[in-house]
């Protein structure tokens, strides 16, 4: 049975959004590949708008589940402001999506340990992998990591 999932990858000022149909077997069908920008100015207002945008999208498009790239430590000293701001954005979209469907957080490290033989970055650089694993709308190279969340979550 085909399901409709949404992959979200938050940064400090935007969210990469990949909407796809997930069949039990075969390539994932990319329905859209988009970026939601966090509005400039007051962060509370921007987060409120992003929350509503995400909740509306999940509800209006009948999304069955959302997979979000999880936070990870960098191991390079103390956390930088960008890392903390990205975590805020991630929390906003997780809360918004969670109001309408199941949400799963998945880290790159967990994918690298549980999916296939390679690390996530190696899969993201492999054009042949993406040609075999996806069909439908074009997928931007910068969105491959977000789509990888969906592919890895299907096999988990």
Give the confidence band of 64 by pLDDT, cuts at 50, 70, 90.
very high
Residues 6+ apart with CB under 8 A from 41: none
What pLDDT is stored for residue 83 in this prediction? 84
Q: Which two tokens stand for residue 61?
A: 């498009």
Give the confidence band of 75 by pLDDT, cuts at 50, 70, 90.
low
Give the confidence band of 77 by pLDDT, cuts at 50, 70, 90.
confident
User: What is the pTM (predicted TM-score) of this model?
Assistant: 0.93
Question: Residue 152 and residue 156: Cα distance in Å, rounded?
Answer: 6
**74 pLDDT higher than 70:** no
**15 pLDDT higher than 80:** yes
**DSSP per position, 33-61:** EEEEEPPSS-HHHHHHHHHHHHHHHHHHT
Q: What is the dihedral of CA 124, 22, 133, 153, to 10 degrees?
A: 40
What's the first-to-final CA gap in the chain, in angstroms?
Answer: 16
| pLDDT (mean) for 20-46 | 96
DSSP strand E in the chain: where? 3-10, 14-22, 28-37, 65-69, 102-106, 134-136
What pLDDT is stored for residue 71 in this prediction? 83
């Amino acid at each position: 049975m085909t399901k409709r999932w949404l992959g979200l990858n938050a940064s400090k000022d935007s969210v990469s959004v990949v909407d796809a149909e997930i069949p039990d077997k075969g390539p994932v069908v990319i329905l859209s590949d988009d970026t939601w920008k966090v509005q400039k100015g007051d962060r509370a207002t921007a987060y409120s708008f992003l929350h509503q945008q995400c909740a509306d999208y999940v509800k209006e498009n009948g999304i069955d589940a959302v997979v979000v790239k999880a936070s990870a430590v960098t191991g390079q000293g103390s956390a930088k402001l960008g890392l903390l701001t990205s975590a805020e954005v991630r929390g906003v979209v997780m809360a918004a999506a969670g109001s309408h469907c199941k949400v799963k957080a998945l880290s790159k490290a967990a994918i690298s340990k549980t999916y296939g033989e390679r690390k996530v970055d190696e899969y993201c650089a492999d054009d042949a992998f993406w040609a075999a694993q996806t069909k439908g709308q074009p997928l931007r190279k910068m969105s491959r990591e977000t789509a990888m969340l969906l592919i890895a979550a299907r096999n988990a």
